[in-house]
Structure 1
């Protein structure tokens, strides 16, 4: 167990970024077609091919999930991933053709100090290229913090980033992958403590636990910048055997992890999205009780992944950039 989403058999992760632009792409690549669904609880999502993940829709399996920076420009990352998958002969069979199925969600990282000339129409966005590079790089190791879709991510008070975590349940391993770009905070008040502290395992984000007390001002809502400059996007996966409808339930329950780790979550101008996938590699089907355990575990690991993403991040080298947790509170 690496304490990463790649502990789920059948899941690989690749990432690519543009440091000058301060943006990037993260791809979860499935080794074989995989059952998946999605739950969107933010009020302003940016997504691609998510409708087909609803349980009543025809397509049963997907090839990859893309998380990307770039706001709406970032949606072209899936084009690069599709092109790479097509080169591997992957995709939904239609006659002699195969069409790779690659749902995606994006976050807003346009005002983090990076140089993004495509927002003025002077160049092509880099996301198709970054998507292909990320797919090509897919492996078991996952860099946390300032990487991939989390490269340009921020929270209200600290640098955001890519987080991941995993845990075992009775019918399989559950893992989470998240790009933390929250409108609020992952930490309590002005201190080093994470809202996700009760779920921490083996000091994975500092081992500081709860503060001695939570003051009334620690519960004040804190918002980042102007409206719409945020969104946290995630994938939870398991190697248990689930139906598409059960994956939908898993995605819905995993949103509890965002609510436990971020204050606030699911806002009117957030695009908070959680995908859920089941590779089936454990061979263990899940009844209602086993599914409930998987759902609870998914929420726990997603909360932990959020804190790990912030804890591991490094600050961007731009004037006015948000400090990293490590800059504020040490190693």
Structure 2
């Protein structure tokens, strides 16, 4: 198997990703957008989601394309980031024309990062962070402690923002994820990742698999969680096909985080298609999306950076 040239979501031609963060709050926002609107779907498997405009992504709803997708920290407060993105897009003349107005469609999902040691006093920054992330959108973007993953944690280590891509014939599929899981991305107390069987090269350390999985119950954290992701492709999919891709991609989350999809996670996957690529075998495409999401989750944790005041260690600080 072969990754795209950057091993990022932006290996899908036309996509742009931007990050913005508030270091004081240990929180941030990530925006996925494009010069042209794109088809999108969504699937939620966690029990505690926080979302905006996801109903519009159902295959039977009228709107067929969206202008951006937003992943944000801040719990419900972070949904304001989508409004910042929508207003900035409208100022650029982007959006559906309705009665003489431009109305951008900006679905969003949030994660809970209010108990990570950040300073949550003062004005909320998410409306501003949404606009800043959109302004920063490009083909290159930071991973690890960045964007929506700036304050993310798992049960045992810091979480973060991860991405990975894969070629499926002539098509590209890729994933972007903010890992803020109730469970763990690593096996027991060691450095090995649950996603190790799916690693390409040494994209998250090349450690291989752990010798044995622990026999006891997996560790979880006590406060809120949620892993939110985007999988993307240039293969030609409509909203129904994107919805099916989002459903399949959740397999990657279950392979990389133990446990996942719990009552206390709001685990969610958006899927999008730019439609600029070829018709592609839907089975291979769905499997590729799951592989990319598993790898992106491991990369998020592997690339997380240590910061003063961390409540949990970064993978690199603990295992070097």
Please confirm whether the aligned pair reaches a TM-score higher than 0.5, indicating the same fold. Answer: yes
Deviations 1:77-134, CA, capped at 9 Å, x for gaps: 00110111111111112132110000000000001111111xxxxx431000000000
Aligned partner of 2:97 in structure 1 is 93
Is 1:133 equivalent to 2:128 in the alignment?
no
What SS does the corresponding residue of 2:76 show, helix, strand or coil?
helix
- Quote how far apart the aligned CAs of 1:316 are: 3.2
Aligned partner of 1:120 in structure 2 is none
Q: Distance in 1 between matches of 2:90 and 2:112?
A: 28
Q: Distance in 2 between matches of 1:6 and 1:215?
A: 36
What SS does the corresponding residue of 1:44 show, helix, strand or coil?
coil
Aligned partner of 1:185 in structure 2 is 184
Contact 1:171–1:285, Cα closer than 8 Å, also in 2: no
- Quote how far apart the aligned CAs of 1:221 are: 2.0
Contact 1:166–1:173, Cα closer than 8 Å, also in 2: yes
Q: Distance in 2 between matches of 1:61 and 1:215?
A: 45
Q: Give the alignment of 1:56-75 within 5 angstroms.
A: 56-75=60-79
What SS does the corresponding residue of 2:272 show, helix, strand or coil?
strand
Over the aligned positions, Cα root-mean-square deviation in angstroms equals 1.0
Aligned partner of 2:256 in structure 1 is 261
Q: Distance in 1 between matches of 2:138 and 2:27?
A: 20
Q: Distance in 1 between matches of 2:300 and 2:35?
A: 25
What SS does the corresponding residue of 1:188 show, helix, strand or coil?
coil
Q: Distance in 1 between matches of 2:307 and 2:71?
A: 20
TM-score w.r.t. length of structure 2: 0.97
TM-score w.r.t. length of structure 1: 0.94
Q: Distance in 2 between matches of 1:208 and 1:285?
A: 36
Is 1:243 equivalent to 2:238 in the alignment?
yes
Aligned partner of 1:49 in structure 2 is 53
- Quote how far apart the aligned CAs of 1:10 are: 1.4
Hey, which bits of structure 1, 4+ residues long, moved more than 4 A? none
Q: 1:281 aligns with which of 264, 276, 279?
A: 276
What SS does the corresponding residue of 2:226 show, helix, strand or coil?
coil
What SS does the corresponding residue of 1:80 show, helix, strand or coil?
helix
Structure 2 unaligned residues grouped into runs of 5+: none
What SS does the corresponding residue of 1:224 show, helix, strand or coil?
coil
Contact 2:79–2:108, Cα closer than 8 Å, also in 1: yes
What SS does the corresponding residue of 1:105 show, helix, strand or coil?
strand
- Quote how far apart the aligned CAs of 1:171 are: 4.8
Aligned partner of 2:294 in structure 1 is 303
Aligned partner of 1:17 in structure 2 is 21
Contact 1:26–1:149, Cα closer than 8 Å, also in 2: yes
Q: Distance in 2 between matches of 1:184 and 1:207?
A: 22
Structure 1 unaligned residues grouped into runs of 5+: 118-122
Count how many residue pairs are aligned between Structure 1 and Structure 2: 316
